[in-house]
Structure 1
Amino acid sequence: MDTVSLIDIAGYLPENRVGADYFAQFAASDRLAENIMFRAPKFRHHIASDENAVDMAERAVAPLIERNGSELVSNVDILITHTQLPDVPVLGTGGELARRLGITPDWVVDLHNGGCASFVYMIKLARQIMQTGDASTALIVSVQNSAGQIFTQSDVRVLAQSAVPGDGAGACLLVKSQAGPVLGLECRTYPEFAGDMTAAVDPPRKYWEAGTGQLHIGFTETKIAKVFARGNRLVPEVALAVCKQIGITPDEIDTLVTNQPNRLFLRNWRDALELPAERHPDTFDECGNLFGAAIPVTLDLENRAGRIPNGSLVMMSAFAHAGDFAGAGAIRWGAAPVGV
């Protein structure tokens, strides 16, 4: 099959950088406040009030156009997007982004599932399309836009969960080439766990209906315990599955990039794979939990800092929601900035 490579990656963080003191001023008595799941990062970025998911996606894609030329992006065959909080009715993020960029891909897909592991899932889907058809280029975009919209609501910002998420977006270009080959991918679905993390409104209503309750995540101590147990297991498990698939051992991983939900998960994952902290980039204290955008944003920050030289073996691994989905992927890196 044709080799598919990741040739460039870019990220976007909104200008509004919010410190932990913003949420501290609103903190109320919350029995979950002491749970390690909700230990707040020092900072996070929030989407602007006049900004939507497509704005963020467009800003994430802009460096790719600048570095690779408008022709490559304007002729992409595949556009796949994931938006944590879909906020473009009818057309969706993918359709509107295509309109703004003036592109006409054969494939435009708004991928709703996959959550924090959606970036890996989108790469897998794009590679499958490219290897079984005529498509030769793909643009992948992940947007996390719920922090500044859901978690700053007056009734939600008092909850311990509100201080953890941050907003951001990441994008990458995939092409048929040997420049930065995707070596292996593993995605697993566990639908039996899907009901353990849900949105909640009190009093209950459909989220689009007018009402007094404000949307938030329906956490309980029992659900949190399940999330920790599954997350601790799933991220190393799928990473090890990819290691086996491509014939390497974990100590050959140069850079491990995971989703960034909290400090304990990050420590446990690198310990499970027996990797030192310097091989596992941590953006939690600057960006908070970026959900599906965490992997591309972290990759972009590390790449621009010159810490992922070409030829490095990069492992991406993440789990979604309460553990209903997990994915990992290995890349022989070929997207280091010119001159680095």
Structure 2
Amino acid sequence: MNPVSLVEVGSYLPEQAVGADFYTDPDAPPDENQMFRAPAFRRHVSAEETMVSMAAEAARPMLERMRERGEDTRVDMVLTNVSMPDRMFTGAGAEIVARLGLRPVPEWIIDVHNSGCASFVYMMKIARQVIASGAARSALLCSGQNMAGKLFARPQIRHRKHAAIPGDGCGVGFLRVGDESPVLDVVTHHSVEYAEDMDVRGSTRKYWEAGEDEIDMNFTDEGVERIVDRGNRLVPQVTRELCQRLDTSPADIDLLVTNQPNRMFLRNWHESLGVKPERHPDTFDEYGNLFGAGIPVTLTRARDENRLRKGDLVVLSGFAHAGDFAAATAVRW
């Protein structure tokens, strides 16, 4: 099997920064639930911004950096994940190829709708397998979150306690055949029994049915307790399994990059794994919960801040939705 490397990453954050006061309901009692303690800021997409426009803004500078280094930027695969697709049927992949003018058109264009906050890791697994088999030589991965400005900023929704948590943005990565920054292994777990525990609907209707109430995420106190329990457990579990397969210890991780759901999970994860806080980058207070974009955006931020050194063991880990999916991968930077 051919070695496969993650050789570049990039990100795009919308211009509009929104403070926590936008969501404040002066008539609501204080909420002590750590699951929904709001970040200081987050970004919102504009009415004109789409997953395609965000992915193009993230990918163009990344591909240009590669060209400046004299590297081949031909793309054989495009994989995308977006929290709320702008087009119901066609996904975002084909439009991204057209917007970026990728030629020849990639043979593989795959819109990955599941795996949520851990989608970047899942797409790495898919791309790595195809590239390692020899069926492709490179892949562009795009994870986007666009629900904050489109859904959670709506007048009927924005004062609900969970609305202030998400932010919008897009992260991208480039994989290719080679061993310069090899993907060492990928671990994924599907907990299919939790697949029905998160849904989008109106208070009295399904999301596709006509009605006057806004659609929203379904969160109950009991459901939140289950998500907290699963989230605290799943990310350390999948990360430890990855480290065991690599015959190393979590304490030897040089940089742990996870999805960014809230401060509680971020603290509990690095404490459980014995990873020092400075080795676990945190973008939550600035960007909020970026869902699937959280891992590549945070990795890009760490790279830009010179927190990555040649030879570092970089682990990307996360869980999705109400716990139906968790994944971890390791890269020797």
Q: Which TM-score applies when normalising by structure 1? A: 0.94
Cross-structure match for 1:64:
62
Q: Report the 3-state secondary structure (helix = DSSP H, G, I; strand = E; otherwise coil) of the residue aligned with 1:233.
A: helix
Q: Report the 3-state secondary structure (helix = DSSP H, G, I; strand = E; otherwise coil) of the residue aligned with 1:2.
A: coil
What is the distance in 2 between the residues matched to 1:134 and 1:318? 28
Q: CA deviation at 1:246?
A: 1.1
What is the distance in 1 between the residues matched to 2:154 and 2:26? 13
- Alpha-carbon RMSD across the aligned residues, in angstroms, is 1.6
Is this contact kept in 1: 2:78–2:109, CA < 8 A?
A: yes
Is this contact kept in 2: 1:144–1:292, CA < 8 A?
A: yes
After superposition, residues 1-340 of structure 1 pair within 5 angstroms as 1-24=1-24, 26=25, 28-29=27-28, 33-69=31-67, 75-103=74-102, 104-205=105-206, 207-333=207-333
The amino acid across from 1:218 in the alignment is: N
Q: Report the 3-state secondary structure (helix = DSSP H, G, I; strand = E; otherwise coil) of the residue aligned with 2:231.
A: helix
Q: CA deviation at 1:132?
A: 1.7
Q: CA deviation at 1:209?
A: 4.1
Q: CA deviation at 1:133?
A: 3.0
Q: Report the 3-state secondary structure (helix = DSSP H, G, I; strand = E; otherwise coil) of the residue aligned with 1:98.
A: helix
The 1:27–1:238 alpha-carbon spacing in structure 2 relative to 1, beyond 3 Å, is farther
Is this contact kept in 2: 1:199–1:218, CA < 8 A?
A: yes
The amino acid across from 1:200 in the alignment is: R
The 1:217–1:105 alpha-carbon spacing in structure 2 relative to 1, beyond 3 Å, is same
Is this contact kept in 2: 1:47–1:149, CA < 8 A?
A: yes
Is this contact kept in 1: 2:231–2:265, CA < 8 A?
A: yes
Q: Please list the CA deviations of residues 164-186 of structure 1 after superposition, one character each: whole Å capped at 9, or x if unmatched.
A: 00001000100111110001100
Is this contact kept in 2: 1:27–1:157, CA < 8 A?
A: no
Q: Report the 3-state secondary structure (helix = DSSP H, G, I; strand = E; otherwise coil) of the residue aligned with 1:196.
A: coil
The amino acid across from 1:83 in the alignment is: V
What is the distance in 2 between the residues matched to 1:72 and 1:28? 57
The 1:325–1:268 alpha-carbon spacing in structure 2 relative to 1, beyond 3 Å, is same
Is this contact kept in 2: 1:74–1:101, CA < 8 A?
A: no
Q: Please list the CA deviations of residues 11-59 of structure 1 after superposition, one character each: whole Å capped at 9, or x if unmatched.
A: 11100011111111x455379x331111000000000111111111111
What is the distance in 2 between the residues matched to 1:134 and 1:211? 47
What is the distance in 2 between the residues matched to 1:89 and 1:247? 43
The amino acid across from 1:173 in the alignment is: F
Is this contact kept in 2: 1:27–1:159, CA < 8 A?
A: no
Q: Percent identity?
A: 46
Q: Which TM-score applies when normalising by structure 2? A: 0.96
What is the distance in 1 between the residues matched to 2:253 and 2:172? 23
What is the distance in 1 between the residues matched to 2:309 and 2:149? 34
Q: CA deviation at 1:228?
A: 0.7
The amino acid across from 1:268 in the alignment is: N
Cross-structure match for 1:337:
none
Q: Report the 3-state secondary structure (helix = DSSP H, G, I; strand = E; otherwise coil) of the residue aligned with 1:266.
A: helix
The 1:237–1:27 alpha-carbon spacing in structure 2 relative to 1, beyond 3 Å, is farther
What is the distance in 2 between the residues matched to 1:44 and 1:270? 23
What is the distance in 1 between the residues matched to 2:171 and 2:4? 19
The 1:30–1:165 alpha-carbon spacing in structure 2 relative to 1, beyond 3 Å, is farther
Q: Report the 3-state secondary structure (helix = DSSP H, G, I; strand = E; otherwise coil) of the residue aligned with 2:309.
A: coil
Q: Please list the CA deviations of residues 320-340 of structure 1 after superposition, one character each: whole Å capped at 9, or x if unmatched.
A: 01110000000011xxxxxxx
Q: CA deviation at 1:281?
A: 0.4
Q: CA deviation at 1:90?
A: 3.1
Q: Please list the CA deviations of residues 36-88 of structure 1 after superposition, one character each: whole Å capped at 9, or x if unmatched.
A: 11100000000011111111111110111210129967621110000111012
Q: Which runs of 5+ in 1 are unaligned?
A: 334-340
